[in-house]
Amino acid sequence: MPKIRTILWDVGGVLLTNGWDHSERADLFREFQIDRDEFEVRHETVNDAWEKGEITIDEYLDHTLFYEHRDFTRAQFIARMKNVSQWLPHTAIKIVRGLSVREDVKVAMLSNESRELMDYRIETFGLGQDFSAYMVSAYVGLRKPDPKIFKLALDVMRSTPEETMFVDDRKENAAAASALGIHGLQYEGPQKLEEELKRLGILLGDRQPAGMKS
């Protein structure tokens, strides 16, 4: 089995809670008394463009929410959108940070997210020092599970599919990576991830990353 030299990481559902998914939106719909069905219809027509960086958060909200008068301000709503982000209860961040100091393994972010929310997440949760590259959909104009974003990641990281692992909480995204020969893994918590990393020879039996200085 080829040695894994690059590990690509999703953020929402692996490290942090999702930034702006169905359940997160539902909480704000109740708080701000927004018609959920109407918002979701409008959301679907512009979300792809927003997550690819083709429109700003203001343009997204103009279409989905502020096309009519609201009893709250845009700034109030954006602040709550950002505050939705929290550490995932079963986050893999300790594993990421343990691997990020290694010289034999490169770690990079590969995530679907809008520019404004990902900028906030990287700064607020100190992710700016954890990755050697940031393939975020809004930064590169591509979204998972499009094969092009995985191919871009391989080029940027100068890694072959066989030398690359991708960790994502969504089965369809892991499968899209696997279809290209990347070792795609659906994240189901840190314990199972550690077991897979040990199986691949990336972690030792005592959980210390192989090759890490003691």
- Any idea which architecture 6-17+87-199 has in CATH? 3-Layer(aba) Sandwich (3.40)
> In terms of CATH, what superfamily is 22-83?
Putative phosphatase; domain 2 (1.10.150.240)
- pLDDT at residue 164 in the model: 98
Gap between the Cα atoms of 70 and 80, Å rounded: 15
Which pLDDT does position 205 carry in this prediction?
Answer: 55
Instruction: Verify cis geometry, omega within 30 degrees of 0, for the bond prior to 209.
Output: no
Q: What integer pLDDT is reported at residue 210 of this predicted model?
A: 39
Contacts of 38 (CB under 8 A, 6+ apart): none
Which residues of the chain does CATH 3.40.50.1000 include? 6-17+87-199
Return per-residue pLDDT of the chain as tens, 214 residues.
Answer: 679 999 999 999 999 999 999 988 999 999 999 999 999 999 999 999 999 999 999 999 999 999 999 999 999 999 999 999 999 999 999 999 999 999 999 999 999 999 999 999 999 999 999 999 999 999 999 999 999 999 999 999 999 999 999 999 999 999 999 999 999 999 999 999 999 999 999 997 544 443 333 3
Residue ranges in 9-92 assigned as alpha helix (H): 22-32, 36-51, 57-64, 74-83
pLDDT at 214: 31
Find tokens 């927003």 and name the residue: 50
H or E segment to which residue 198 belongs: helix 190-199
Instruction: For residues 9 and 191, give the distance between their C-alpha atoms in angstroms, rounded to a whole number.
Output: 16
pLDDT, position 32: 97
- The pLDDT, as a whole number, for residue 79 is 97
- Quote the CA–CA distance of 156 and 189 in Å, as a whole number: 27
Find how far residue 1's CA is from the centre of its chain: 27
Q: Which two tokens stand for residue 55?
A: 């429109």
Give the residue range(s) of CATH 1.10.150.240 domains in the chain: 22-83
Task: Give the integer Cα–Cα distance in Å for 182 and 68.
Answer: 46
For residue 111, what is the DSSP state?
Answer: E
User: Look-up: residue for tokens 């092009």?
Assistant: 148
Q: At what angle do helices 57-64 and 36-51 cross, to 10 degrees?
A: 150
Residues 144, 48 contacting (CB under 8 angstroms): no
